[in-house]
Chains A and B, each alone.
Chain A
Amino acid sequence: MRVMVMTKGDAADEGNGEPTTEMFEKMRVFNEQLVNAGIMLGGEGLQSSAAGAKVAFSTAGTTVVDGPFTESKEVIAGYWIWEVSSLAEAIEWAKRCPFDPSYGDSQILEIRPLFDMADFAQTVDADALAKSEQLLDPTSD
């Protein structure tokens, strides 16, 4: 199964200093373990939420909120895509991720299995499904 693993932290802790050489090295070792275990398929790091924005929908209307997302307790800082045999395996790997409290006391790794388009086949009309696949795909036309 393929999972997305998101690293999250408290917005209040965003920009708590640049990573130290030591922490950088620890993360490198962890990433190397993931690669050497054959489970790492990809990933990216995100800029601080100060560089982003939110578009919020509600019955009252649509609002745009500029970053940083100061009130948010779980701001995504980056993600990996792993190919694992089970959720339990992803959890065991996530537990090995280095943690440095100097960036903040609340750091979370959220693990979410990816949908395959086949998972929607039961509930969504085949035509709509085909159309949304076209839209999702960068190579279409």
Chain B
Amino acid sequence: MTWFLDHRAEVFDLAVRHLYLAGVPLLIGLLLALPLGWLARRFRPLYPPLIIGTGLLYTIPSLALFILMPGFIGTQILDPVNVLIAMTIYTIALLVRTVADGLGAVPGDVNQAATAMGYGRVARFFKVELPLAVPVISAGLRVAAVSNVSIVSVAAIIGVAQLGSLFTDGFSRSFLDPIVVGIIACVVLALLLDVVIVAATWLLTPWQRAGRVRT
């Protein structure tokens, strides 16, 4: 524990970098998965190719994707942008299916009621379908957030600084303390992101706590 107290500032700095590398792709991935999920739901023939395609992306092992990124986008191997883009790809891979299924779970008569009330396609999507799909999307987002935090640490092998650097540091010196602190910090960070998502979902879905009114 004394090791942690002596290196608090360093661990905090790495945690901030870790949060950036895991969190920013989560937001970008969500923003990109929304239209893709909508497409998969709106045009049925697109569903299988989109879901299978994004599923295939998820099979690429993280270290391999980090290493291949410079070949695709011409960056240097140490550039954090490689990690940001790779993590965005993983987030999209997880979320497109969730968004499509979440939108698909909106009851048909709710959509019809919205149309009857005069909502156009666009307004209905943003004011009725998307809000009702929030609980399903949020469940997927929680999975993506936790797995992003875990995967980002692998980037320490290619030298991108974040909490995973504590692992490579401890490994190269055969020193247990940084490794243990790093693991705990990763889990705490994942938990923190999870709490933020749960809180945001709570704020976005007031109807779910209004005496369980059926939607």
Q: Please determine whether chains A and B interact with each other in the same assembly.
A: no
List A residues at the B interface (Cβ < 8 Å).
Answer: none
